[in-house]
Structure 1
Amino acid sequence: MRFPLDLDGVTIPRLARLLEAGRLTSVELTRAYLERVETVDRLIGSVLAVHPDALRQAAESDRRRALGRSRGPLDGIPVLLKDNIDTAGLATTAGSRALCVPPSTDARLVTRLYAAGAVVLGKTAMSEWGNFRSPWSTSGWSGVGGQTRNPHVLDRSPSGSSSGSAAAVAASLAQVAVGTETDGSIVSPAGHTGVVGFKPTFGRIDGTGIVPLSSRQDTPGPIARHVVDAAILMSVLDGVDYTDAVTADVLPGARVGVWCPSGADPVLESAVDVLRRHGATVVEVDLPGQDELRAAELAALTSEFKHDLENYLATRTGVPRTLRELIEFNEADPVELGGFGQELFFDAEKAPPITDPGYLDQRRTATVRARRSIDDVLAAHRLDVVMAPTNGPAWPIAAGDPSGGGTARPAAVAGYPSATVPAGFSGPLPIGMSFLAGHGADGLVLGFAAAFERATRARRAPAYLATLP
């Protein structure tokens, strides 16, 4: 029987109302998503593994609801998790064939999802090691999952590293997903696949049990088709209610800085017109010093990666224990080095320890520059938020990632919140707009994202085109 709901358009609040009214069960909803994974994901390769207990989790949710014991709006809602988030009994590999022995415990955020009654549907593909094995890595490719594709145009990149989470949500393979970001890895794939991505303030969500790139920047966050769904998932992960923030009418009287380092763009011009029509004052701004910020960040990450990864590997059994063992595993493996090398692994192996004064200076420089670039422009122009294009059109799948971090970097390195929302298209390829603000302004950023979403209604379902027409 055909599922009676438009999964692409339905929101968590509507699903919750249907579930409470007895017009839908979590088992029916979960089965509908599992059927889409079975059929649609053959085109895009975004889901690595389905949780064998997904339908059992859904049935338990239905029993709770029948007894009047629902745990909230996420109870019974299917969620996918990026493959670097520890999930007991399911492989958590960060894309590497070296980590195929499953962890024995759940990450802290997975525990929160289960406590909220969410159905953990499965694990999504990612760019191997968060695109931190080689500067020539292919976004969306891993030794474990192969190549994830952009559901709008299948020969185009989904970006990364939360490639599978974003592509799966865009293709309606789950209601929401959890991604992680070190520098653009939530907002970039969300922008390129035409969905909502939210990177919260660093530390708002517990990152324990996540394969790290850097414990100074890594941040889990929601990916969704609708801002309200991202806010509900964020509320569970953070423990703070964001639902009021996304219903407020924040545009009238707001002051929005517009930052466009790549120059004028028709989608950006349309977004600015939307802001002005809804009562916002728009100010052109610049966030200076991005080249220096990028250099300092890369140097710091190279030291942090080895230290933080080896600390994480010590919590797992049946996997390599050191970066040197990972390098040797890759050299002996028939798949891992087939498309690109491990130059960044070699750099990290030789990098100074995190006690080194040179490293400490690079981390301090990166963090201070990033925070000042946002704080100073907000203060100088009395701005509420800054808006910037998240991405350009997705590029053909190939080694190397021409997005280069882009407008995501300042908020990522500063540890400040940012959200991307679908804003328009370049041909059939989605373009997102990002909103960013200062430390702790998560609700404000989500509020602007929601207001922009209501004003534009720019998102549309993917067409699964084989190539550009």
Structure 2
Amino acid sequence: MLRRNFLKTSSLAGITLSAVATGSCNLLQSSKNKNEGTADDHFVLNEITIDVLQQKMHSGEYTSSSITQLYLDRIAAIDKDGPKLNAVIEVNKDAMNMAFAMDKERKQHKVRGPLHGIPVLIKDNINTGDNMHTTAGALALADNFAPQDAFIVHQLRAAGAVILGKTNLSEWANFRSTRSTSGWSSRGGQTKHPYILDRNPSGSSAGSGTAVAANLCVVAIGTETDGSVVSPSSVNGIVGIKPTVGLLSRAGIIPISITQDTAGPMARTVKDATILLSALAGIDTQDLYTLNSKGKAEKDYTKFLDASGLQGKRLGIEKDAFKGNEEMEALLKTATETLKSKGAEIVEIELLKELKDAGKAESTVLHYEFKDGVNKYLSNSANSKTKTLQDVINFNKKNVAKAMPFFKQEILEKSQGMGDLHTKEYTDALQLSNAGTRTIIDNLLQKNKLDAIIGPTNGFAVCIDLVNGDYDNGFSFSSPAAMAGYPHITVPMGAWKDLPMGLSFFGTAYSEPALIKLAYAYEQASKKRVAPKFKVDLLS
């Protein structure tokens, strides 16, 4: 979850764009070694795509095992040494064995699909039934080894993917403290921004965003409650897809919200993200929400990749996005001109001001659902001594120096004090936040005859501030789709001072095909993805 959204839900109607901080952040002193900056990056797999990797494996130039080893070496050189991005919390000891097995199948002329032999990183709140931990970044869960794969990990293995490792995240998916720092966890430490190292990579899927941007993998999986896929994708200059809630199973994922949580693909191109989305989707009886996707999900979302997908489309742009920061406004104006040049019609709309009441209700919903979901997850964690949310709170209190050195656990404690999901306060808030937001979005789409709603995904990356926590980066556009459980895609829109920003496309439930068409057409027309140079600070 993007913590800034959680704190701002009571004032959605008044969002404006604040000034962007400049210069060095001067708060993460370990970033100040000038040798950490690497302008010349000649990694052989830089910016490579799934299609090209498959071509190279087919020709024999590479194997899955050689590709996997290259990425493992890259993680060691860039993530743990070099700029020390700290994106990967744990490397999979079985990764090379998985790659060898996929190579063996390929030699036998068995290729499972486009992900066969492709290394994938996954967020460390997603179960893997192997020798890797699943901790949500929390020391309280350092002994948690899941008894079986999450459903989406099972889907990955069936598709032939290589589970390369797990990525760091904002602890408890940024649902621990009102003063937390995105990308920091007590188990994994602070993940850095690959473009400018003293900037924050955003959360909660910080490690997945940084890893993809820095070419530590070709694709990764994040999770989102409100902003945690699209925000780190936006500030790290990559593509992120938050699907409709229910398109991907949440079984085996440490939860925040049963009504808003979803996993989602993160990649450098819309096509790669779409390939990963296709592999992850599926009906799972352990997550009844997936039953809603029957007859609505697609087996192959790549068939919607259409470079002319903007022709004749009508897009509503959030009016508040043109207020405030001139650098964001300049990027947005360029993006709208590109959209128009490819045949789209752009009309101004006012969505955010209609969501003030729904935004206030969201925080209530999440506190209730977090307690319920985490207690259910922990009660089934056979290998962990931590069985309840109260156990987590008690552990952190007993281990303050290690577990809470920078910020505390007010959100955990508030959630612990909530009742069950039959409480009237909860059911009333859910009706307003979830159903109410859906109605507002759907009515706006129908009234204006829109194919989708667009706007900047969020503001530029803020400084890493372990003293004061996250601060407002000026704009956030994740909450409407998040509260509704609707799909949301972000695509690189450009950068200012080497700080990327994404353009958002979102629509009604199960509109992934339409959004993929729009996002792909914009990507092909704009080509705004740029690899990072690992600058030490903004003035380097």
User: TM-score category by the smaller chain?
Assistant: over 0.9
Q: After superposition, where does 1:112-151 map in structure 2 within 5 Å? A: 112-151=155-194
Which of 356, 381, 394 aligns to 2:461? It is 394
- Give the partner amino acid of 1:121: L
Report the Cα offset of residue 5 of structure 1. Answer: 7.6
1:370 corresponds to 2:411: no
Highest relative contact order (Cα 8 Å, sep 6+), 1 or 2?
2
Whole-Å Cα distance in 2 between the matches of residues 105 and 405 of structure 1?
A: 39
Counterpart amino acid of residue 373 in structure 2: D
Structural mapping, 1:114-263, within 5 Å: 114-239=157-282, 240-263=299-322
| Superposition deviation, residue 6 in structure 1 | 4.5
CA contact (8 A) 1:419 1:436 kept: yes
Count of residues in correspondence between the two structures? 467
Contact 1:128 1:142 in 2 (8 A): yes
Contact 1:79 1:119 in 2 (8 A): yes
CA distance in 2: counterparts of 1:221 and 1:457, whole angstroms: 22
**Is the counterpart of residue 73 in structure 1 residue 132 in structure 2?**
no
Cα distance in 2 for residues equivalent to 1:404 and 1:117? 41
How has the CA–CA distance of structure 1 residues 403 and 309 changed in structure 2, closer, same or farther, with 3 Å as cutoff? farther
Counterpart contact for 2:460–2:473, Cα < 8 Å: no
Shift of 1:430: 0.2
Amino acid at match of 1:445: L
Cα distance in 2 for residues equivalent to 1:63 and 1:247:
35
Deviation digits for residues 31-71 of structure 1 (CA, Å, limit 9, x no counterpart): 11111100111321000111001111111111111111110
Provide the C-alpha distance between the structure 1 equivalents of 2:254 and 2:125, rounded to a whole number of angstroms: 5
Amino acid at match of 2:498: P
Match of 1:91 in 2: 133
1:60-87 Cα shifts (integer Å, max 9, x gaps): 1111111111100100000000000001
Matched, 1:358 2:421: no
Moved more, 219-228 or 439-448: 439-448
Task: Map 1:270-289; keep pairs closer than 5 Å.
Answer: 270-287=334-351, 288-289=353-354
Q: Which moved more, 1:55-64 or 1:288-297?
A: 288-297
Match of 1:322 in 2: 388
Task: Report the counterpart of residue 425 of structure 1 in structure 2.
Answer: 495
Contact 2:47–2:215 (CA under 8 A) maintained in structure 1: no
Give unmatched runs, 5+ long, in structure 2.
1-40, 283-298, 324-328
Residue type at the aligned position of 2:456: P
| Aligned residue type for 1:278 | K
CA distance in 2, matches of 1:358, 1:368: 15
How far did residue 262 of structure 1 move?
4.0
Q: Which residue number corresponds to residue 35 of structure 1? A: 73
Is contact 1:366-1:413 (8 Å) kept? yes
Structure 1 position 63 matched with structure 2 position 104: yes
Tell me how large the CA RMSD over aligned residues is.
1.5
- Residue 463 in structure 1 maps to residue 529 in structure 2: no
Taking structure 2 as the reference length, the TM-score comes to: 0.84
Asked whether the 8 Å contact 2:242–2:263 carries over to 1, the reply is yes
CA contact (8 A) 2:99 2:117 kept: yes
| CA gap 1:171/1:16 in 2 versus in 1, 3 angstroms | same
Tell whether 2:75 aligns with 1:51.
no
Measure the CA separation in 1 of the matches of 2:319 and 2:61.
46
- Partner Cα distance (1:262, 1:244) in 2: 32
C-alpha contact 1:136 1:401 (8 A) present in aligned 2: no
Partner Cα distance (2:61, 2:43) in 1? 11
SS of 1:71's partner is coil
TM-score by length of 1: 0.97
CA distance in 2, matches of 1:67, 1:268: 50
State the alpha-carbon separation in 2 of the partners of residues 314 and 403 from structure 1. 37
In 1, are the aligned partners of 2:321 and 2:455 still within 8 Å (CA)? no
Displacement after TM superposition at 1:289 (Å):
2.4
Shift, 1:405, TM fit:
8.3
Identity %: 42
List per-residue Cα deviations over 1:407-463 (Å, max 9, x = no partner): 111111111100000001121100100100111101111121111110110010011
Matched to 2:278, the amino acid is S
Give yes or no for contact 1:370–1:414 (8 Å, CA) kept in 2: yes
Paired position in structure 2 for 1:331:
397
Structure 2 distance, partners of 1:373, 1:414, is 9
Q: Which amino acid aligns with 2:136?
A: A
Deviates further, 382-391 or 119-128: 382-391
Paired residue secondary structure (1:407): coil
Q: Secondary structure at the match of 2:402?
A: coil
Shift of 1:357: 1.3
Please identify, of 303-312 and 248-257, the stretch whose mean Cα deviation from structure 2 is larger.
248-257
- Note the C-alpha offset of 1:352: 2.6
Question: In structure 1, what is the Cα distance between the partners aligned to 2:152 and 2:385?
Answer: 23
- In structure 2, the residue corresponding to 1:283 is in which secondary structure? strand
**Letter of the 2:138 counterpart:** S
Provide closer, same or farther for how the CA distance between residues 405 and 393 of structure 1 changes in structure 2, counting only shifts above 3 A. Answer: closer
Q: Does the 8 Å CA contact 1:207/1:220 hold for their aligned counterparts?
A: yes
**Structure 1 unaligned residues grouped into runs of 5+:** none
Give the distance between the partners of 2:169 and 2:43, measured in 1 at CA: 29
Q: Which moves more between the two structures, 94-103 or 242-251?
A: 242-251
Classify 1:366/1:160 alpha carbon distance in 2 versus 1 (closer, same or farther; 3 Å): same
Q: Given that residues 195 and 226 in structure 1 are in contact (C-alpha distance below 8 angstroms), is that contact kept between their aligned partners in structure 2?
A: yes
Higher mean C-alpha deviation, range 22-31 or range 70-79: 22-31
For 2:375, the equivalent position in structure 1 comes to: 310
After alignment, is 438-447 or 217-226 more displaced? 438-447
